[in-house]
Amino acid sequence: MKRKTILLILLMIGAVVATFAQSKTEKFEVKGNCGMCEIRIEKAANSVEGVTSSDWNKETGMMIVTYDEGKTNIHHIHMAIVKVGHDTNMNKAPDDVYEKLPGCCKYDRITNNEQQVVHYEVFGMDCPGCQSALEKQVNKIEGVDSSTASFQKKQVSVVLESGASVSDKEIEKRIKKANFTPGKKLNPSKNEE
């Protein structure tokens, strides 16, 4: 009887450890101004299956989100937020959605000439861990503000710092360094969700 009880306890501990091993917390910028923005941003993030908590700080504009990597990824969370009208450091909200925000929620937007986003095909990614490994390599490039990889879409989106110029060869070199195969540079219109 004791042996069965010990085995059951060990299995339960293993299940708890496995659950927490998939939990990931990320911090990123989301544009907004007020308490209504906070409610809208957090509600959008929490609507993504796998998100366990979200907290947006209107003073700093920073979002802290915890999610289950087995159920979602950071790209899906960013896309949910931009769909309700708030720019993130990786994606821009559609203009028509932004325009429908209440006046107090209209934040200063980054114009396209201030920040550039480029997309590249990447082959060989097949899990969230692959995405993370690729993002870490690409983020090491001088002039890159951030990057978001998607193994489902087989691509990486790279956000360049304002006025920065990064060569395609440098990005391809980092993709290879992460042990993936670079494809072609993509037209941004082909990458919309």
- 8 Å CB contact between 65 and 54: yes
Residue 193 pLDDT greater than 60, yes or no: no
So what's the pLDDT on residue 128?
86
Within 10 angstroms of residue 12's Cβ, the number of other Cβ atoms is 10
List, for residues 6-29, the tens digit of each pLDDT value: 767 777 776 665 555 589 999 999
Task: Encode pLDDT of 114-125 as tens digits.
Answer: 567 889 999 999
Give the CATH number of domain 22-105; options: 3.30.70.100, 3.40.50.300, 3.40.50.150, 2.60.40.1840: 3.30.70.100
Report pLDDT for 191: 38
Contact criterion met (CB below 8 Å) for 120 and 137: no
- Domain map of the chain by residue range? 22-105, 116-191
Q: Report the DSSP beta bridge partners of residue 156.
A: 120, 149
CATH (one of 3.30.450.90, 3.40.640.10, 3.30.70.100, 3.40.50.920) for 116-191: 3.30.70.100
- Residue 128: which of 158, 159, 150 has the closest Cα? 150
Q: What pTM value is reported for the model?
A: 0.54
**Alpha-carbon distance values, 84 to 27, 48, 60 (Å):** 19, 13, 20
Determine the Cα–Cα distance for residues 137 and 96; give it in Å rounded to an integer.
34
Whether 22-105 and 116-191 share one fold: the answer is yes
